[in-house]
Amino acid sequence: QWLRNPGPQHEKRTLFGDMVCFLFITPLATISGWLCLRGAVDHLHFSSRLEAVGLIALTVALFTIYLFWTLVSFRYHCRLYNEWRRSNQRVILLAPRAAAAAPPAPPGLRPVKRNSKETIV
C-alpha cells in the first residue's frame, strides 16, 4: 500500500526518482569500478605505478560515494515509511457470528452480560 500511495506528491516523485537512479547508477558504478581496476592492473604490468594508484583511489572514491548515497537514500525512505505507517494504520475488526450468540434468556429474567477478553477498538 505504501508503494502505491507513499504520501504527498513530492515524496512519491522522490521515491520514484531514487529507484530509477539506483537502477541506473548500480550497473554504471559496477562497470566503472571494474574498468578502473582493470586499467590499474594494466598500468602495473607496464610499471606505471602512479597511474595504477590513481585508478585504485578513483575506484575507492567511486564506491564510497555510491555506498554513501545508497545508505542516505535508503534511510530517508525508511523514515518516510515509518511516518506513513504511524499515520496510516488499517484495522480490520472481526465480529463473531450471530449464530454463535448465547440463547435468549427465559421470560422475566434479565440476560447475563458477559465480559469479553477482547479489547474494543
Answer yes or no: is 80 within a domain: yes
What is the average per-residue pLDDT within 107-119? 59
What is the average per-residue pLDDT within 87-114? 67
pLDDT band at 11 (very low <50, low <70, confident <90, very high): confident
Range of the structural domain that residue 47 is part of? 9-87
| Interatomic CA distance for residues 46 and 42, integer angstroms | 7
| Interatomic CA distance for residues 38 and 56, integer angstroms | 10
What is the average per-residue pLDDT within 71-91? 85
Answer yes or no: is 100 within a domain: no
pTM of the model: 0.61
Number of structural domains in the chain: 1
pLDDT band at 73 (very low <50, low <70, confident <90, very high): very high
pLDDT tens track for 16-32: 888 899 999 999 999 99
